[in-house]
């Protein structure tokens, strides 16, 4: 499997805009791209958090049916809705 690690949120969002990645992003960072149709929000998590702590999964609209993105979205939703107890570092 491929893993991409970005140094900044800006880099992650740019990769999503370029069609090379999906990204979790702060709404304020991607609001314009969402309203202009350059990115889409594939789902509503239904979690109310202060805006300073909110993240959204975004990617280009042309990638909406990509099976890899759907799998990541489904996994992420499962993780959010079924949180696991925190593990202590010394238990890993």
Cβ neighbours of 30 (radius 10 Å): 21
pLDDT (mean) for 11-31: 87
Report how far residue 87's alpha carbon sits from residue 26's, in angstroms, rounded to the nearest whole number.
Answer: 26
Report how far residue 71's alpha carbon sits from residue 76's, in angstroms, rounded to the nearest whole number.
Answer: 9
**In contact, 54 and 88? CB cutoff 8 Å:** no
pLDDT (mean) for 67-92: 70
Cβ neighbours of 83 (radius 10 Å): 7
User: What are the domain boundaries of the chain?
Assistant: 9-83
State how far the alpha carbon of 11 is from the alpha carbons of 46, 57, 82, in Å. Answer: 26, 14, 29
pLDDT (mean) for 19-35: 85
pLDDT at 65: 87
Report yes or no on whether pTM surpasses 0.85.
no
């Amino acid at each position: 499997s491929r893993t991409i690690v970005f140094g900044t949120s800006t880099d992650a969002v740019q990769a999503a805009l370029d069609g090379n990645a999906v990204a979790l992003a702060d709404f304020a960072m991607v609001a314009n791209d969402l309203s202009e149709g350059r990115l889409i929000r594939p789902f509503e998590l239904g979690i109310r958090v202060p805006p300073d702590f909110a993240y959204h999964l975004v990617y280009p609209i042309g990638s909406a049916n990509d099976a890899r993105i759907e799998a990541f979205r489904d996994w992420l939703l499962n993780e959010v809705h079924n949180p696991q107890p925190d593990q202590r570092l010394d238990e890993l």
